Chain A
Amino acid sequence: MMKNIIEIKNVRFHYKGAKESLQNVSLYIKEGETLLLCGASGSGKTSVLRLINGLIPNYYQGELTGEVMVAGRDISKTPLYELAGVVGTVFQNPRSQFFSVDTDGEIVFGPENVGLEPEEIKRRKELIINEMGIDKLMERSLFELSGGEKQQIACASVAALLPGIILLDEPSSNLDRDAIEKLHDIILKWKKQGKTIIISEHRLWYLKDLFDRVIYMDKGRIKKQWSKEEFLKLDTATIENLKLRPLEVPSYFSVLFNERSSEKETSESGMSNSILLQDFFFSYRSSPYLFRKRHFAESDGDRLELCIPELKLPKGKVIGIVGKNGTGKSTFLRCLCGLEKDCRGIIETDGKVYRGNARIGLSYMVMQDVNHQLFTDSVESEVLLSMSDKDEIRCHEILKNLGLIEYKDTHPMALSGGQKQRVAIASAIAAGAEILLFDEPTSGLDFDHMMKVGLLLKGLAQSGKTVLVSTHDPELIEKCCDYELYIKNGRVESFGGIAEKILKRNEIKESV
């Protein structure tokens, strides 16, 4: 029997000024074990990770009872820097875990902090780069990397300290499918090296062959535990009841990402009432003129990062936009709502033509980080802000429909993530936008919240709005989208109704 490397005994914890976030948690983890923590948002997964890496109680203050031992050390009495070589943590948000501005500096940051000899650091850097196969990413600015590449660097910089225990806090939240597969390979490598790995995650499918044990948390307690075999035997209904995301990727979606060149068509069947988009061309590389400004046209060819000469979108439907990271989904949305002035696209709906700044009023984008969109000190004034006539009755009606009326005097920043998102939607409706755009609204959400967002999108579509949503979550597309728009390299690869696509892809799958 191997010995426990992490022992958490009867721990209770609550953050300062908050209610109890961990209640009587006991957890023993053996050396070399890979553990999956799952459960709804706010169930205490992150707090458990923070117990192990010592951020609780050394950084996040609060009241802690019980005992936490990691690799023979009592965490509450160990200063954080001593743990640096023992426990490594990969965080959720690639944006905020970098200390350097360049990739090389980031990898050597940890070893430099613990005062290793420069020669040793260089040797380790080489080792890690080879191990992870990231030599292409070296000597670049961190701010120009994609989310997936950032997460790779984050893993590398954690590994550079050679910790025996590695914690990952929802590492896949901002990643697309390819990047998730890379992440999977990294974790697999760590597992083979005999490291102890603890992952907290909502997306389960990519971890199937990795974990040895699954811990299910609910409201700050450990509710259930399964071994790998037991967990894989659970049927879909049970998993759905636990409010977890499914273990399997819906079959039609895996076909979508495996097919590389087939089906290239747009079907416009059943679109009686549609919105016509024309001349959407755009590139971030601005033109070579000195005092800038130049219009893009189709003739610019390959230089264009977005090239949609003409596209018809059905009105009053939910349209899922899929495609890899950095392939032009966000660019498309930004151009559509008129944020990129250099894109001269025209939107035609109900016989009216919108161009230039008029597009801003027609559409509204709910950004990935909703914090950027909330400006005022109460939910009510937030919504009133977008109304030109300041009609309070209509404002209350909108809030009521979105279940926000009881929060109307609350400060938007004090709300939960999902509520903030609804406030942003409320102000979009108030502004009278016809087209609502969502940029990855469900990344980092648990199953339950994701379904709520899905229902909300459907509801919006039923009330006559056209909803475009870019996403990496197959579950969301399957459950709530009516149409699917596949973008590749800024070009529309295929577009059509979800139902017929599923049918078709199932056929493809069977024939393979």
Chain B
Amino acid sequence: MIFVVSAVVMMSATTPFLWGLRIAITMVPIALLIVEKQYASALRFLVLYLAALGLTFYYLTAQATGFLTAFLVGYCSIVAQFMPAMITAWYVVRTTKIDEFISAMQKMHVPDGITISLAVVMRFFPTIKEEYASIRDAMKMRGVMLGGGSAVKMVEYRMIPLLFSCVNIGDELSAAAITRGLGGKVKRTSIEQLKMQALDYVFIFVFTAAAVIFVASKYMK
């Protein structure tokens, strides 16, 4: 559950301007990466992030114009603002078992319809990744990576097979889930007994505080 909370906070916390706190919070996804033993990507992200920060501070002033700078501004804000949120989201999806997720949502009294569709979405990320990888391979072999020069074709060649296979898999998946009793009227139980622990409360407190400070300092002036 703490993951859900921290993800939400991360997204709102990275957009406003309060540099000190913001950098501190950005360290969280890096820490998460290290916990997950993804040292290489942690380091890569750290370097990218520092570079983006440095560029925004020293190089990109308000008067800067021109194509290159516009591009750089875009690049820096993507790295600095979206990457932390994306990494946290990735961490949530990777470390939360679907089972835990469902029972956490049930504890929070979220309706079953929403829970199950979100669970399916989480289940689908790795599948989409696999499918997409093999479609890319196929395109490489055909030499149509660039879609014959047209951007529309490029997207089309990727999306059509991907959609077809995802629809097929989704169909088979729900048939399989239904034969094993999903969607029954009985209340679903779970062997994962989730309880809020001290650490969870601490995390929730810290992140809520951070969010409140951000919002307050931006809008209360």
Contacts and interface: CB of A to CB of B under 8 A. Distances in A.
A29 interface: no
Interface stretch (B5-13, B24-32, B65-73, B130-138): B130-138
A33 to B, nearest CB: 21
Given A81-B185, A105-B98, A431-B142, A99 B123 contact: yes
Interface in A93-145: 93, 95-102, 104-105, 108-118, 121-122, 125, 143
Contacts, number: 172
Given A113-B181, A290-B40, A375-B142, 12 more contacts: A53-B179, A79-B184, A80-B178, A81-B178, A84-B184, A88-B180, A100-B98, A101-B126, A111-B189, A122-B191, A375-B156, A431-B142
Interface stretch (B55-63, B157-165, B212-220): B157-165
B98 A99 contact: yes
Contacts of B200: none
Interface in A165-214: none
B190 interface: yes
A385 B191 contact: no
Interface of B: 40, 43-44, 97-99, 119, 122-123, 126-127, 130-131, 134-135, 137-144, 156-157, 160-161, 164-165, 168-169, 172-191, 193
Contacts of B134: 367, 369, 372
A311 interface: no
B161 to A, nearest CB: 5
Contacts of B161: 371-375
Nearest to B41: A290
A87 B180 CA distance: 9
Contact of B135 (A80, A111, A161, A372): A372
A372 B141 CA distance: 12
B182 A373 contact: no
Q: How large is the interface on A (under 10, 10 to 19, 20 to 34, 35 or more residues)?
A: 35 or more
Contacts of B187: 115
A99 B165 contact: no
Given A81-B184, A118-B191, A385-B144, A371 B156 contact: no
Instruction: List the 10 shortest-distance A-B pairs measured between CB atoms, nearest first.
Output: A84-B181, A81-B184, A115-B186, A113-B181, A97-B176, A96-B172, A110-B180, A375-B157, A373-B138, A105-B99
Contact of A91 (B119, B123, B176): B176
Interface of A: 53-55, 59-60, 79-85, 87-89, 91, 93, 95-102, 104-105, 108-118, 121-122, 125, 143, 157-158, 161, 290-292, 334, 337, 339, 360-361, 364-365, 367, 369, 371-376, 385-386, 413, 427, 431
Contacts of A101: 97-98, 122-123, 126
A53 B180 CA distance: 10
B99 A365 contact: no
B140 A339 contact: yes
B179 A96 contact: no
A112 B141 contact: no
Contacts of B164: 371, 413
Contacts of A104: 97, 99
A143 B125 CA distance: 11
Contacts of A87: 179
B174 to A, nearest CB: 8
A194 to B, nearest CB: 21
A66 B137 CA distance: 48
Nearest to B126: A143
A96 B189 contact: no
A165 B119 CA distance: 28
A241 B187 CA distance: 52
B73 to A, nearest CB: 26
A125 B185 CA distance: 23
Contacts of A85: 181
A499 B58 CA distance: 74
Nearest to A54: B179
A113 B131 contact: no
Given A101-B97, A118-B193, A375-B160, A112 B172 contact: no
B205 to A, nearest CB: 30
Nearest to B172: A96
A331 to B, nearest CB: 13
Given A84-B184, A102-B97, A157-B180, A95 B138 contact: no
Contacts of B156: 375
A109 B180 contact: yes
A116 B161 CA distance: 40
A80 B175 CA distance: 10
Contacts of B186: 81, 113-115
Contacts of B126: 101, 143
